[in-house]
Chains A and B, each alone.
Chain A
């Protein structure tokens, strides 16, 4: 069996156009079948299922992660919403409480002020009455003292006591002025 390096048409002559040289067909067909079947088996049995699994598992994982992220985002949103609601409630409560307390305190203070004022008023009136009584009492004393003094002065000056009625008139007259 000779190993030919050039494929030539039988019977010599000039070389045929290689793609149409039928002598090479059998070898090419045989090796094409071997190569193609080998490649087909490798791809169909091993490579394609493996690549398919890789892609599927990746998309599964991505979908899973996206779903988880969505879930987490939702729970975050609800947490934020509850937080804000609670915050608003607390603020309202605080405001209400503050208002109530302020009102109560103000009412209390007002009441105390009123009672205090009333008491003071009473005390003032009582004091005024006492003053007036004391004053009238004093005035009455002044009358008597003035009369006594006037009688004593007149007696010393004139040597004789003046009639009581004249003295009383004169004192009343002076005090009136």
Chain B
């Protein structure tokens, strides 16, 4: 049976050198990141090049993505949040595209590596901190002090708030990473059953229909998860950015 972990292996395509004992290489992960950038650029730039008043299919998709992310950001962070629109849009499109590309059999899923999702989550985390302090100054700390709390339980509340704030990048990144990882392992395991049973003669063929059906169903589910996790990552980003804009609860 095929190793379900094998698909997550990083393979060097070209090794570029070593920096501080760390190997730097152009890997399959890097290749798929750049493919995703290319696909998004093709959609957002190529499909909108004609600037048609009546959009074609691809231009419609580009405009729908634009308005979808804009509406999501505006509804959770208000009109002030629109200054982060390029960041949020890039995050959403990048995660969505690498998730979707990862569902093509034989490809690599960039977001199935914790280092990638952690990097993206930390980008949001530090954006919130730096912008929050830059815009609100000392008042940014009000984020940790909800108003209308009795003074004697305030220390506990502040402790919890700080803890939950600091754990944000962890939950933010692990959610995406774990979903993509688990989904791809499950798919691979069930697909592995199909080939394993298929090699066992006629009865095996019969038995293989069940995992085959499950694989088809799971693939559909994984498409939903791929979109949903990109959306969840985006909407959490919007909510965190809203904290930077309006720290008072």
B86 close to A40 (CB less than 8 A): yes
Q: Which of A15, A33, A43 has the most CB of B within 10 A?
A: A43
Number of interface residues of A (CB under 8 A): 45
Query: Contact check: which of A28, A35, A38, A50 meets B10 at CB < 8 Å?
Result: A28
B33 close to A32 (CB less than 8 A): yes
A51 close to B5 (CB less than 8 A): no
B66 close to A27 (CB less than 8 A): no
Complexed CA–CA distance, A39 and B43 (Å): 12
Q: Which of A3, A7, A19, A50 has the most CB of B within 10 A?
A: A19
A54 close to B15 (CB less than 8 A): no
Residues of chain B lying within 8 A (CB to CB) of residue A28: 10, 27, 29-30, 113, 115-116
B12 close to A5 (CB less than 8 A): yes
B11 close to A43 (CB less than 8 A): no
Q: How far is the CB of A58 from chain B (nearest CB, A)?
A: 6
Residues of chain B lying within 8 A (CB to CB) of residue A50: 45, 48, 51
A39 close to B15 (CB less than 8 A): no
1/0 per position for A89-105, CB-CB distance to B under 8 A? Answer: 00000000000000000
**CB-CB under 8 A for A47 and B10, given A19-B181, A40-B90:** no
**CB-CB under 8 A for A3 and B29, given A35-B36, A48-B89:** no
Query: Contact check: which of A27, A38, A44, A52 meets B27 at CB < 8 Å?
Result: A27
1/0 per position for A53-68, CB-CB distance to B under 8 A? Answer: 1110110010000000
Complexed CA–CA distance, A23 and B25 (Å): 11
Complexed CA–CA distance, A31 and B112 (Å): 15
B53 close to A7 (CB less than 8 A): no
Residues of chain B lying within 8 A (CB to CB) of residue A36: 33, 90, 94, 120, 123
Q: Which of B133-175 contact A (CB under 8 A)?
A: none
Q: How far is the CB of B149 from chain A (nearest CB, A)?
A: 39
Residue numbers of A with Cβ under 8 A of B are 1-7, 15, 17-21, 23-36, 38-40, 42-44, 46-48, 50-55, 57-58, 61
